[in-house]
Structure 1
């Protein structure tokens, strides 16, 4: 039997079994990202003795690694192959589905868990606007065609709460031409035939956002795989440091010739633990009692070990040393900081290329759901990303102005490079077009601001009439020839 011959029930069992097999690893990666990982490298005898008296110190480098990359992955729009401006219709779909926030959540899950998913369908509230949702790999699993590497089928599982009863386990199976909804009833999946549909798209309405997929390996790889042993070691060292601070770093005193009754107040009540162990002054009238103090331990060995682990993390992940708290005696220059971020910027650019292809396929699915077909211009769709590097605004503006003045960079691309959003660029085009129409209609002051009022001028000055616009200024439009 081939995959094409499988029934919906057989597809569901196959996908659920595969998802259950990988879910334990996904939950472990999720725990590391959220700082809930188990304590490692600690002797079991010590754990049994301390029990609830010891709490793990978590140095959450996994969260830092994921967030440092995700913070540089901002989508600004999409562009058709035959257009110089961003695709307004696709940006409307993006905004209507709150994908500004959803894409960020999807990128976090893809980096932390190895992959995330996007599901496209019809919108019950608006037939002209497709519904696009971003899903976690903890709930969604898909199978890939080994020949074409396209997704063949996918399942999403969740639990619906019920009043006064246990939550109902639900599953939606997505196939190239149909959607099926199942509920788990007495240990068996039962199809809810009134909730499914035959969409007839001819392709799966699910797209995978994979992080660092391999040709013959898994569908996606977590950014945390490499640093988990180092993160465990750092948490262990930090926990040991706190234990040493409790028992060795604080000056501890000893006494000979004294009994427990000597450590009591005037009414004979025994002193508390802090007064007994960390009290500043011990006094006893018995001349045979002797007091002393143990030399306290230094914690610098723990500091040096954590710093050594941080350097290894920086080397493996491309994070700048100052991200991990590795400061030098002399503050680094701006050029040195940008140089230290070079690997991180390149890693972000690689993720933009990979994630961009997935988002382009999602947008083509949205067009297919909305129009029933995909226009040829959308087959060469391009994702517009914000620059992942961190130059100052003045540096970027200076470079863009020079390129624009030399005629190398068109105005639309200059706006995009300066970081203006798609909506801001649309408004700027409208303002520029309005100013040009006014200038063509004879309003030579179209490129100028409002005339200053006399009462707003400095004392003793008269309002000056604006100089008439030259022909060059009118032809250049706003922002040119002023």
Structure 2
């Protein structure tokens, strides 16, 4: 390490660092708002009509529809790793050692919530290469339109104890610069290390959700439409909760009674507040009608029906916005839907999940390139032709339907019966596939061993007959005489 490169950033590096830092700050409010909706912690403004202002802070209502819109889509994005056809680059081992079967979901969820996410590839002590998922709350970059990759990126790291950012990294095409500053988070950033990797590209991949030409960084699944419907649902549930407090007990009325009849045991009169709490409304005795008899009745209790109907309408609007079937939003019918009806309701959601597989697959393919580049120093020339991605089916077919379709493909000789592709289609895990392969191999060996005695006996029994038949046909001869006779 050249010590002269440590200290402060150069003017060009400082300019790039500041530019990306401002990008993080610019999107922080929007990202934290999306996070609040995903976790059900958003603040919803009250209209001060159904709920008085002084009571509104006491009513804590949460509607988790924004989180459902993200999680339902993420649950259909199971990435099973890279697939290598006719080659062995070791990507399966990289997938396992980095535990991407679970950590890949971290990138998917962040991309769906914030609109994009970042994945870094570097060297590690126990795991090499090391693949890490970074949140857009603490990382951003500048995208090169021509290469469709990042040209510069910055990540910053928060100290929970001191509540400041104390370290950061500046990612450049040929090096990664490690920075830190004082314990109080003040003062200039100082370089304490430089990793001169000379890759010619950033070891950072951006995973964008639903990118467009005008918004290549993607967009959140928690759109303004989703947030508006969630806010409306929160206010509706708050009004229903307040209505429950006032009308949960029956309200009674009475006519033809005198106030003295509501006296307490000690002779004191019942106060107005106690009468309200008692849910009793009384009309004084009419002196002009002394023969009128008292009457007692009950008002109809407030019911949640109108509120639930309104929520059901909001759920239908949210279903149209997010392609989620209404039954996943808490409004199930008593009649069980058939399998065909369920597939029809989920068709748009499945198509949306398949589109996300294509978008996120581009990022995972780039991660594979960087992993090989860091490990081997080069990307294989046939990488794009050989390496593919394995995703679990985004639909929800039953085991019986999947087994039936696979059986038909095997009978039509489209799929081999003992192919790993066939085993994956019927839902066997990787461990189960290896066990089945061992059982098949063991069965073939046992069958071969069991057939050896019979085969040996058959050979011994047929050997004299074979020799005699050969002599009679003249196919067995010795010496040159056979050749002379033939001539």
Calculate the TM-score normalised by the size of structure 1.
Answer: 0.79
Q: Is the 8 A contact 1:40 1:233 kept in 2?
A: no
- The aligned residue for residue 402 of structure 1 is 408
Q: Could you list the per-position Cα deviations for residues 386-414 of structure 1 after superposition, in whole angstroms to 9, with x for gaps in the alignment?
A: 11111111211121122112210132321
- The aligned residue for residue 347 of structure 2 is 342
CA RMSD in angstroms, aligned pairs only: 3.5
Q: Is the 8 A contact 1:182 1:189 kept in 2?
A: no
Q: Is the 8 A contact 2:262 2:269 kept in 1?
A: no
Report the Cα distance in structure 1 between the residues aligned to 2:269 and 2:375, rounded to whole angstroms.
81
Query: 5 Å matches for 1:143-158?
Result: 143-158=142-157
Report the Cα distance in structure 2 between the residues aligned to 1:364 and 1:263, rounded to whole angstroms.
86
Q: Whose Rg is larger?
A: 2
Q: Could you list the per-position Cα deviations for residues 406-452 of structure 1 after superposition, in whole angstroms to 9, with x for gaps in the alignment?
A: 2101323212222334454445445545555665xx32479xxxxxx
How has the CA–CA distance of structure 1 residues 168 and 308 changed in structure 2, closer, same or farther, with 3 Å as cutoff?
closer
Report the Cα distance in structure 2 between the residues aligned to 1:29 and 1:111, rounded to whole angstroms.
10
Report the Cα distance in structure 2 between the residues aligned to 1:212 and 1:110, rounded to whole angstroms.
9
- The aligned residue for residue 102 of structure 2 is 101
- Number of residue pairs matched by the alignment: 431
Q: Could you list the per-position Cα deviations for residues 1-39 of structure 1 after superposition, in whole angstroms to 9, with x for gaps in the alignment?
A: xxxx97222221111111101110000001000001111
Query: 5 Å matches for 1:409-428?
Result: 409-410=415-416, 411-428=419-436
Q: 5+ residue gaps in structure 1?
A: 447-466, 469-482
Report the Cα distance in structure 1 between the residues aligned to 2:410 and 2:374, rounded to whole angstroms.
39
Q: Is the 8 A contact 2:156 2:165 kept in 1?
A: no
Q: Is the 8 A contact 1:82 1:377 kept in 2?
A: no
- The aligned residue for residue 28 of structure 2 is 23
How has the CA–CA distance of structure 1 residues 95 and 41 changed in structure 2, closer, same or farther, with 3 Å as cutoff?
same
- The aligned residue for residue 73 of structure 2 is 69
- The aligned residue for residue 170 of structure 1 is 167
Report the Cα distance in structure 2 between the residues aligned to 1:438 and 1:204, rounded to whole angstroms.
54
- The aligned residue for residue 479 of structure 1 is none
- The aligned residue for residue 189 of structure 2 is 190
1:322 lines up with 2:319 in the alignment? no
Q: 5+ residue gaps in structure 2?
A: 1-9, 288-293, 456-487
SS of alignment partner, residue 192 of structure 1: strand
Q: Residue 311 of structure 1 is aligned with which of 285, 294, 316?
A: 316
- The aligned residue for residue 469 of structure 2 is none
1:78 lines up with 2:77 in the alignment? no
Shift of 1:188: 3.4
Q: Residue 221 of structure 1 is aligned with which of 219, 225, 232?
A: 219
Q: Is the 8 A contact 1:257 1:290 kept in 2?
A: no
Report the Cα distance in structure 2 between the residues aligned to 1:265 and 1:204, rounded to whole angstroms.
85
Q: Is the 8 A contact 1:386 1:419 kept in 2?
A: no
1:359 lines up with 2:364 in the alignment? yes
Q: Is the 8 A contact 2:175 2:195 kept in 1?
A: yes
Q: Residue 60 of structure 1 is aligned with which of 61, 64, 70?
A: 64
How has the CA–CA distance of structure 1 residues 309 and 371 changed in structure 2, closer, same or farther, with 3 Å as cutoff?
same
**Bigger CA drift: 429-438 or 347-356?**
429-438
Q: Is the 8 A contact 1:41 1:233 kept in 2?
A: no
1:89 lines up with 2:94 in the alignment? no
Calculate the TM-score normalised by the size of structure 2.
Answer: 0.78
- The aligned residue for residue 33 of structure 1 is 38
Q: Could you list the per-position Cα deviations for residues 186-240 of structure 1 after superposition, in whole angstroms to 9, with x for gaps in the alignment?
A: 63332232x3311111111111111101112250111110311111111111111
Q: Residue 377 of structure 2 is aligned with which of 372, 393, 413?
A: 372
